[in-house]
Structure 1
Amino acid sequence: MLDVVEKLLIVDNNGTAGTAICDVLVDAGYGCTTVSNALEARQQLAEHAFALIICDVASSNGDAMNLVADVLSGHTSLAAIIVTELDAEGAIESARAHGAYGCITRPFAPGQVLFVVSNALYRRQLELEIQSMRAQNDALDFTGSDRVLSAEQETIQRLCRAAEFRDNETAQHIQRMSEYSALVAKLAGMSRYEVEVMRAASPMHDVGKIGVPDSILFKPGKLTDEEFELMKLHTQIGYRILSGSESELLQMGARIALSHHEKFDGSGYPNGLATDAIPVEGRIVAIADVFDALTTKRCYKEAFSVEKSVSIMSEGRAKHFDPQLLDLFIDNLDTALEIKASLPDTDNSNN
């Protein structure tokens, strides 16, 4: 059961899906109110405080996306989830564009409902904490100090743990790529402060996966073209979560989230940036993330040898990776291997 009862609003005019979802959530300790149309939903939102609204696209007479937009524009402390068919044309992508925090896809199991709802509520909590942190920093007028970095660490670490929970990446992966990123930043001549911001910001590269549908994020086989387009949205979702802050740490995190899948030759995503148009932080994290992915065991592959991994990355020189930054990393490979040895995966990692 939940320590604090979160109040949820469910919009469903045929009653079947809404009742089933409500039963699952009530059994888990949530408080639920069910309404049958958008007008009743707006009345409830005006009169009561809710943490989350769940809106069934199929049964909302076309007003689901307007409701989602209302939630985020007029009720800034709320999160929104849609219920839709997995193959509903454009519904999931449209919901993401309107700012929905997650999707429950029919037919759904109780575990899916609880998983999507708990992640949406956790993301909402983190965003509210980030907003509070921004306000505190603005009030204190701290700029560029170690004290500001320290004050932000708990929220950032919790945000990164949420991303880990939503993916198959391990805590050790996050730590290693953070250290690899700091190493390259230092080799590239960044100041001590910039290196520390890089170390703290780089783990936020995949926070946007919080908003990727479970059916795509955890699909065991190859993604379809349509599914991959939705997966690629994690870069923009992460940027939206982190952007708009006065914090240098969150600003860098936002740039990294948006740009770490760009490629030096312009063939990456989401914006097809090339060369120096890609923020240097994104170019650094691309190297750190790929090196760790290649050299460690994943559920879908064995670890490649260091030699093979370096060979693969060298083939991507000036294509995938910034050639100068890649050369710095490879020239200092011994230091990277010391980092790797100091942060080994546990026995149950990547299973």
Structure 2
Amino acid sequence: MSLYGREPIDMTMDNTAQNTSMKRVLIVDDVPRNIDLLREILSEHYQVQVAKSGRAALDIIAHKTPDIILLDVMMPEMNGFEVCEIIKSNPETADIPVIFLTAVTDVENEIKGFEVGCVDFITKPITPITTLSRVETHLRLAENDQRNKSLIASRTQELDDALESAVSMLGEMGHLNDTDTGIHMWRMADYSAALAKAAGWDEERVELLRLAAPMHDTGKVAIPHSILKSPNKLSEDEWKIMKSHTQIGHKILSKSEAPLFQLAAEAALGHHEKWDGSGYPYGLMGEKIPESARIVAMADVFDALTMERSYKKSWSIEEALEHIESSAGGHFDPRLVTLFLSIKDELKNIQEKWRKKEQELVQK
């Protein structure tokens, strides 16, 4: 079965063009004399494949991708425009340059051709100089385009890696006194992303929250060690300082106008607010608390409960979910609690994924 549908392959390859370093040109035309002429022009310079119908062309493309396609516009059953639309709709073949072969030179056909994705036209009657020039030009342009895309992809990956590193550093700033920083941050981020997805967030915003969530405690970097690690109950003044980490984190993160850091700032400011208004720093109630903060708050508490610390044993997932369910309408948004309970299996999978990563780190 091909990518485009099943049909016997109608394909020929010029015997003189066996050099695998040669570019492959696919000629698609239902008129034998046109095929013969084009093959004669091109076979000295390129590997030539031939299809006598649109369906056959799609089968050839699915089996062995050509570097460029010369495609007749007027063909029975499936015309060139339809074939081109199918080629361009498939991400695997969308970048193949298509040159239309046509005897019709009106403006409407040209507009239609470019709309469906062709790069050029060769007007019949076909001439060697024009054909070779157009093919060579568009192969070179396609190579340059692919080179640029690869460069952009490489640079984008470098930027993504740098951004993730920056997020890790900011996240760890807020957990300088914790013994389980990186694993906790990214596990909690995965819980946040899973809940955001269940809440109907689009994929792009879910991924933004996955990166933003680890930065929610950034403001703790400004809280004195004596308060963060105090073994005693905090005094009123100390508690006031402790609570200020939400506003400090917001101040730090909101200095950037990038959507990621704006979302992180929002979560940092509101992740200690509670649905019933008993949280801090502003005592916001209900939906006045940004949903990002409500999500991060729940994920953070869930992860803290299920994580073993020097001063406590870890809770089971079931115990942690029971606690969260009992806190619906008080600490947590009731709707988000229901959604969180509904993704229990996903939460287990996330926990198991990070448990294995922890083991790998210990073994190293």
Q: What TM-score do you get using the length of structure 2 for normalisation?
A: 0.53
Indicate whether 1:224 and 2:249 are aligned.
no
Choose which of 257, 274, 277 in structure 2 pairs with 1:263.
Answer: 274
Could you give the per-residue CA deviations for residues 67-114 of structure 1, whole angstroms, max 9, x where no partner exists? xxxxxxxxxxxxxxxxxxxxxxxxxxxxxxxxxxxxxxxxxxxxxxxx
Deviations 1:106-143 (A, max 9, x none): xxxxxxxxxxxxxxxxxxxxxxxxxxxxxxxxxxxxxx
1:189 equivalent in alignment to 2:169: no
**1:286 equivalent in structure 2:** 297
- 1:280-331 Cα deviation digits (max 9, x unpaired): 1000001100001111111221112222211211111011111111111111
The question of 1:314 aligning with 2:325 is answered yes
Task: For 2:215 and 2:348, locate their aligned partners in 1 and report how far apart those are by CA, in whole Å.
Answer: 23
Maintained 8 Å contact 2:173/2:220: no
- Once residues 147 and 245 of structure 1 are traced to their aligned partners in structure 2, the CA distance between those partners, rounded to angstroms, is 20
Secondary structure, aligned partner of 2:267: helix
Structure 1: how far apart are the matches of 2:308 and 2:232? 18
Aligned to 1:203: 214
AA paired with 2:323? I
Could you tell me how far 1:146 is from its partner in structure 2? 9.3
What's the offset of the Cα at 1:170? 2.6
> What amino acid does structure 1 have at the position aligned with 2:205?
E
Q: Displacement, 1:166?
A: 3.8
Residue 223 (structure 2) aligned to one of 206, 212, 216: 212
How far did 1:149 drift? 5.8
**Residue in structure 2 matching 1:331, options 339, 342, 346:** 342
One-letter code of the match for 2:277?
A: G
Distance 1:303 1:157 in 2: 24
Distance 1:305 1:151 in 2: 35
Q: State the shift of 1:150 in Å.
A: 5.9
CA-CA distance at 1:266 after TM superposition: 0.6
Residues 1:160 and 2:171 aligned together: yes
How far apart are the structure 2 equivalents of 1:247 and 1:218? 33
Alpha-carbon distance change, 183 to 157 in structure 1, aligned in 2, over 3 angstroms: same
Query: CA-atom RMSD, angstroms?
Result: 2.3
C-alpha displacement of 1:147:
9.3
More divergent stretch after superposition (165-174 vs 306-315) = 165-174
Identity of aligned pairs, percent? 43
Structure 2 distance, partners of 1:171, 1:183, is 18
- CA shift, 1:155, in A, is 2.0
Seen in structure 2, the aligned counterparts of structure 1 residues 235 and 168 have a Cα distance that, compared at 3 Å, is farther
Task: Report if aligned partners of 1:178, 1:202 keep a CA contact under 8 Å in 2.
Answer: yes
Distance in 2 between residues matched to 1:170 and 1:263, nearest whole Å: 24
The Cα of 1:210 is off from its aligned counterpart by 0.2
Question: SS of the counterpart of 2:340?
Answer: helix
Partner residue, 1:235:
246
Q: Larger C-alpha radius of gyration, 1 or 2?
A: 2
* Aligned residue identity for 1:327: T
1:296 aligns with 2:303: no
2:265 to 229, 237, 254: 254
Tell me, what secondary structure is at the counterpart of 1:165? Answer: coil
Shift of 1:187: 0.7
Distance in 2 (CA, whole Å) between partners of 1:200 and 1:224 is 34
Structure 2 residue corresponding to 1:174, chosen from 185, 189, 196: 185
Which whole-Å CA distance do the structure 2 matches of 1:258 and 1:169 have between them? Answer: 23
Q: In 2, are the aligned partners of 1:205 and 1:253 still within 8 Å (CA)?
A: yes
Distance 1:185 1:161 in 2: 23
Aligned partners of 2:197 and 2:206 also within 8 Å: yes
| Counterpart AA for 2:266 | R
Structure 1, unmatched stretches of 5+, are 1-144
Letter in 1 for 2:346: T
TM-aligned CA distance change 1:272 to 1:254, over 3 Å: same
In the other structure, the counterpart of 2:255 is: 244
Residues in 2 aligned to 1:187 and 1:163: alpha-carbon distance in whole angstroms: 27
Whichever residue aligns with residue 250 of structure 1, its letter is F
8 A contact 1:184–1:284 mirrored in 2: yes
Of 313-322 and 298-307, more deviation after overlay is shown by: 298-307
Structure 2 letter corresponding to 1:192: E
Question: Relative contact order (alpha carbons < 8 A, sep ≥ 6): 1 or 2 greater?
Answer: 1
Which runs of no fewer than 5 residues in structure 2 stay unpaired? 1-155
Cα shift readout 1:5-38 (whole Å, capped 9, x = no counterpart): xxxxxxxxxxxxxxxxxxxxxxxxxxxxxxxxxx
SS at match of 1:264: coil
Deviation at 1:188, TM superposition (A): 0.8
Whole-angstrom CA distance in 2 between matches of 1:189 and 1:147: 30
